[in-house]
């Protein structure tokens, strides 16, 4: 299934994408695509409904973040071999964890609003997991049973704030609009998660290409590892790292500026498009 949320910011409604690509409204079944509706049982009830029986949503509606009320937004850094090498960082022996604050979450095609004073806002295409079942001390073999679905994440990153302001990566990772999610939340049965292509363009120029086969730590390993330290709960989002091609690794470095357009996508998960705009109160 491809689950989706549509409508104006703060007023999104739940939907499902039918085989033709049309959005069908799910409001008669669930009030939103949120943690309480992401368990295996809840997803099974949605899957049992014939999409043709649901109302069609008019085209050109705004698409919101594919999951509502994100509880925790956990990120894995340096998780692709080629990105660790381009960052002049050693291959990590354990997953590198940091947080994005949930106030950064935005829709897949909403503008990226530059943080005040930003000179080094960078791009990172990633695959994110959304948790559907509680997971604590999960064995790697069972870890993916806790995952409701996967989605595209743009881990927008202000590198000066992240790396040059005294520690705590989240300072450069959590600006409003710095965490686009979606367009779809895709259930695992539709994907070969070990072989997903990722790509990102800036102004039509290809910057990043990669494949999840190049991840240092697998999706299952990541869920199992994180669950050693905290109890993952339905609605939590885990974004899993980016391939090579980020702006800070270029010579000279290149960063986003107002007027740029970023497009990115992942096999089976859809694509995003964001215009970059100057700082404003969001």
Nearest to 108 by CA among 159, 153, 155, 148: 153
Using omega within 30 degrees of 0 as the cis cutoff, is the peptide bond preceding 183 cis?
yes
Confidence of residue 251 (pLDDT cuts 50, 70, 90): very high
Confidence of residue 89 (pLDDT cuts 50, 70, 90): confident
> What pLDDT, on a 0 to 100 scale, did the predictor assign at position 137?
98
Sole residue written with tokens 């100057």: 278
Convert the pLDDT of each residue in 58-70 to its tens digit.
999 999 999 999 9
Instruction: Please tell me the pTM assigned to this model.
Output: 0.97
* For range 222-228, the mean pLDDT: 98
For the chain, what is the mean pLDDT?
96
Which spans in the chain are helix H?
A: 40-47, 81-86, 140-143, 159-163, 170-173, 219-226
Concatenating the DSSP letter of every residue in 156-205 gives: -EEHHHHHSSSS-THHHH-STTSEEB-S-EE-GGG--GGG-EEEEEETTE
Helix, strand or coil for residue 83? helix
Residues 6+ apart with CB under 8 A from 53: none
Q: Give yes or no for residue 238 having a pLDDT over 80.
A: yes
Q: Domains (ranges, CATH) in the chain?
A: 68-277 (3.90.850.10)
> What pLDDT, on a 0 to 100 scale, did the predictor assign at position 197?
98
Confidence of residue 101 (pLDDT cuts 50, 70, 90): very high
User: Residue 59 gets which letter from DSSP?
Assistant: T
Convert the pLDDT of each residue in 143-170 to its tens digit.
999 999 999 999 999 999 999 998 889 9
Backbone angles phi, psi at 145, to 5 degrees: -70, -15
């Amino acid at each position: 299934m491809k689950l989706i949320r549509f409508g104006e910011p703060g007023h999104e409604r739940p939907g499902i994408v039918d085989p033709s690509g049309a959005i069908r409204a799910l409001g008669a079944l669930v009030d939103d695509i949120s943690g309480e509706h992401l368990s295996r049982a809840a997803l099974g009830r949605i899957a049992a409904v014939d999409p043709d029986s649901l109302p069609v949503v008019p085209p050109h509606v705004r698409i919101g973040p594919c999951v509502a009320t994100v509880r925790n937004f956990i990120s894995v850094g340096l998780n692709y071999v080629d990105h660790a090498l381009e960052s002049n960082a050693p291959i990590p022996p354990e997953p590198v964890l940091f947080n994005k604050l949930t106030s950064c979450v935005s829709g897949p095609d909403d503008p990226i609003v530059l943080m005040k004073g930003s000179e080094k806002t960078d791009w990172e295409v990633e695959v994110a997991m959304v948790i559907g079942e509680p997971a604590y001390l999960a064995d790697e073999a069972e870890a993916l049973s806790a995952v409701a679905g996967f989605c595209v994440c743009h881990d927008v990153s202000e590198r000066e704030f992240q790396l040059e302001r005294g520690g705590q990566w989240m300072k450069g990772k959590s600006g409003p609009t710095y965490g686009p999610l979606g367009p779809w939340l895709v259930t695992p049965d539709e994907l070969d998660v070990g072989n997903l292509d990722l790509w990102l363009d800036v102004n039509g120029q290809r910057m990043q290409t990669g494949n999840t086969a190049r991840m240092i730590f697998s999706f299952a390993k990541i869920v199992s590892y994180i669950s050693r330290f905290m109890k993952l709960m339905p609605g939590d989002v885990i974004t899993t790292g980016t391939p090579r091609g980020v702006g800070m690794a270029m010579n000279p470095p290149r960063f986003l500026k107002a007027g740029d357009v970023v497009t990115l996508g992942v096999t089976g998960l859809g694509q995003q498009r964001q215009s970059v705009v100057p700082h404003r109160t969001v």
